[in-house]
Chains A and B, each alone.
Chain A
Amino acid sequence: MADHRDADAVKDWFESLEKQEHAARVGMWVFLASETLLFAALFGLYFSYRVMYTHDFTHAIGHNYLAIGTINTVILLTAGFFVAWAVHAMRGGRRLTTAFMLALAVGLGVLFIALKVLEYGLHVREGIMPGSYYSFEKMPGHGAQLFFTLYYFMTGLHLLHLAVAILLMVWLLVRALRGRMTARRHTALEMGALYWGMVDVMWVMLYPLLYLTG
Chain B
Amino acid sequence: MGGAAFIFGLIALQALTLLSFGLSYLDGPGLTLGLTLGIAVIQALIIAIVFMHLYESRFGVQFMALLTLVWIGLLCLGMIADVGLR
Known: A22-B60, A204-B44, A212-B32. A77 touches B72 (CB 8 A): no
Mark the stretch among A34-42, A106-114, A151-159, A176-184 that contacts chain B: A34-42
Closest B residue by C-beta to A34: B68
Closest B residue by C-beta to A208: B36
Nearest-neighbour CB distance to chain B for A63, whole angstroms, equals 13
Chain B residues closer than 8 Å to A43, beta-carbon distance: 76
Chain B residues closer than 8 Å to A58, beta-carbon distance: 29
| Contact of B51 with A200 in the complex, beta carbons under 8 Å | yes
Known: A212-B36, A213-B24. A29 touches B47 (CB 8 A): no
| Contact of A44 with B64 in the complex, beta carbons under 8 Å | no
Known: A70-B21, A194-B52. A84 touches B6 (CB 8 A): yes
| Contact of A32 with B36 in the complex, beta carbons under 8 Å | no
Interface residue range, chain A? 35 or more
Known: A37-B71, A77-B14, A78-B10. A25 touches B57 (CB 8 A): yes
Question: Which residues 7-34 in B have Cβ within 8 Å of A in the complex?
Answer: 7, 9-10, 13-14, 17, 20-21, 23-24, 29, 32-33
- The CA of A74 and the CA of B20, in the complex, are separated in Å by 12
Known: A87-B53, A201-B47. A33 touches B71 (CB 8 A): yes
| Contact of A193 with B40 in the complex, beta carbons under 8 Å | no
- The CA of A197 and the CA of B37, in the complex, are separated in Å by 18
Indicate if A48 sits at the interface (CB-CB under 8 A).
yes
| Contact of B51 with A208 in the complex, beta carbons under 8 Å | no
Question: Which residues 28-69 in B have Cβ within 8 Å of A in the complex?
Answer: 29, 32-33, 36-37, 39-40, 43-44, 47-48, 50-53, 57-58, 60-61, 64-65, 67-68
Closest A residue by C-beta to B57: A25
Nearest-neighbour CB distance to chain B for A199, whole angstroms, equals 10
| Contact of B68 with A36 in the complex, beta carbons under 8 Å | yes
Interface positions of B (Cβ within 8 A of A) = 2-3, 6-7, 9-10, 13-14, 17, 20-21, 23-24, 29, 32-33, 36-37, 39-40, 43-44, 47-48, 50-53, 57-58, 60-61, 64-65, 67-68, 71-72, 75-76, 79-80, 82-83
Known: A25-B61, A84-B52. 15 other contacts (CB 8 A): A25-B58, A26-B61, A40-B71, A58-B29, A74-B14, A84-B50, A87-B53, A88-B6, A193-B51, A193-B53, A198-B52, A204-B44, A213-B29, A214-B24, A214-B29
A-B contact list, 22 entries, CB within 8 Å? A26-B60, A44-B75, A44-B79, A45-B79, A61-B29, A73-B17, A74-B14, A74-B17, A84-B50, A84-B51, A84-B53, A88-B3, A197-B52, A198-B52, A201-B47, A204-B13, A204-B43, A205-B40, A207-B36, A208-B36, A212-B24, A214-B24
